[in-house]
């Protein structure tokens, strides 16, 4: 099974430079344009279904892409973004020099921040999603969030969640993991952070 991971287009929160997590903000005007361009780029792939997070920024992106690709769209709660706890609503610039934040970036498992989702719970929900959708030869486009894209890559690539913040995942970037099995979850990372809009 090939799992294509598309991060949502620019949201109003991205535009303001804030941590969003559970905050439910819509796409910006630029984000709508990005989603349309991503849909055109994705015509070169073949997908069986699109599955999206229910949060507005991801769902709006997925609806635009699904319309362009003429594909069915499913909404799955398990694709919601990680809660960023004490960071939510704050600007990145406000916390970039805050020592607990720097430690969290280095290893979020060993140095958790208050209110951030538990990684055991995160692993369980991603494993549950993979188990329900796994099938030989399937190609699934998942429209979700930066934290969840990173978490899938770390889980399936055997990297561990402690390395989640070691790589970038831009708006409407595409990553792909070839899933080899789900008990335990394992796969081969094919590419990460492919900039769909820039490559159109």
Catalytic-labelled residue, pool 8, 37, 80, 150? 8
Per-residue pLDDT, 169: 96
Residue 200 clears pLDDT 70, i.e. is over it: no
Catalytic-labelled residue, pool 80, 133, 145, 150? 145
Per-domain residue ranges of the chain = 2-199
Fold of 2-199: Rossmann fold (3.40.50)
pLDDT in tens, 5-16: 999 999 999 999
pLDDT in tens, 57-91: 999 999 999 999 999 999 999 999 999 999 999 99
Query: Which residue stretches of the chain are H helix?
Result: 12-16, 29-41, 56-69, 92-95, 99-106, 119-133, 146-156, 196-199
Residue with token string 């934040």 = 101
Q: How far apart are CA 35 and CA 10, in angstroms?
A: 9
> Does residue 8 carry a catalytic annotation?
yes
Per-residue pLDDT, 136: 86
């Amino acid at each position: 099974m090939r799992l294509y991971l598309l991060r949502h287009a620019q949201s109003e929160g991205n535009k303001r430079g804030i941590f969003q997590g559970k905050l439910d903000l819509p796409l910006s005007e630029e984000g709508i344009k990005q989603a349309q361009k991503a849909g055109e780029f994705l015509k070169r792939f073949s997908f069986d279904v699109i599955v999206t997070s229910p949060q507005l920024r991801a769902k709006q992106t997925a609806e635009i892409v699904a319309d362009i690709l003429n594909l069915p769209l499913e909404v799955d709660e398990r694709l919601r973004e990680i809660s960023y706890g004490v960071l939510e609503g704050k600007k990145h610039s406000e916390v970039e020099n805050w020592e607990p934040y720097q430690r969290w970036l280095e290893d979020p498992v060993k140095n958790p921040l208050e209110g951030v989702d538990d990684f055991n719970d995160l692993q369980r929900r991603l494993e549950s999603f993979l188990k329900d959708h796994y099938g030989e030869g399937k190609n699934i486009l998942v429209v979700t969030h930066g934290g969840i894209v990173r978490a899938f890559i770390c889980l399936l690539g055997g990297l561990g969640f402690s390395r989640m913040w070691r790589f970038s995942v831009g708006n409407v970037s595409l990553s792909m993991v070839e899933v080899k099995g789900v008990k335990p979850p394992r796969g081969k990372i094919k590419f990460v952070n492919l900039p769909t809009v820039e490559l159109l």
